[in-house]
Amino acid sequence: MNQHIHCLVSDCHYWDRGNVCKAGEIIVTSDEFGNTQPDRIDAKMANQLTPTPVGGSCMATCCKTYVPKGSEMVDKDNIQRMS
């Protein structure tokens, strides 16, 4: 199965041409959770985390896997970038 996550966040380490996400896996959380948790909390820990509902607003969701291109934090979450 050929699946893509489409994303427009072009300054992310995992973003690639055609507006696709090249992360092996991602996690989407509430903004509040994303703002308060360290970078190491990411998709690899998904089955250990408590769900974070956002009250019906897409504006309150965030991709917790985002990391800026060139950041020294790229390896903190153990997420692999696919080729």
Residue 5 in the binding site for ligand SF4 (CB under 6 A)? yes
Contacts of 3 (CB under 8 A, 6+ apart): none
Site for ligand SF4 in 23-52 (CB under 6 A): 23, 26
Q: Of the two residues 36 and 80, which places its CB atom closer to ligand SF4 in the complex?
A: 80
The CA-based dihedral angle spanning residues 22, 57, 38, 12, taken in that order and rounded to the nearest 10 degrees: 30
30 CA to centre of own chain: 12
Q: For ligand SF4, which residue of 34, 42, 66, 77 counts as binding (CB under 6 A)?
A: 66
Q: For ligand SF4, which residue of 29, 34, 65, 77 counts as binding (CB under 6 A)?
A: 65
d(CA 71, CA 83) in angstroms, rounded, equals 19
Which residue ranges make up the site for ligand SF4 (CB under 6 A)? 5, 7, 9, 12, 14-15, 21, 23, 26, 63, 65-66
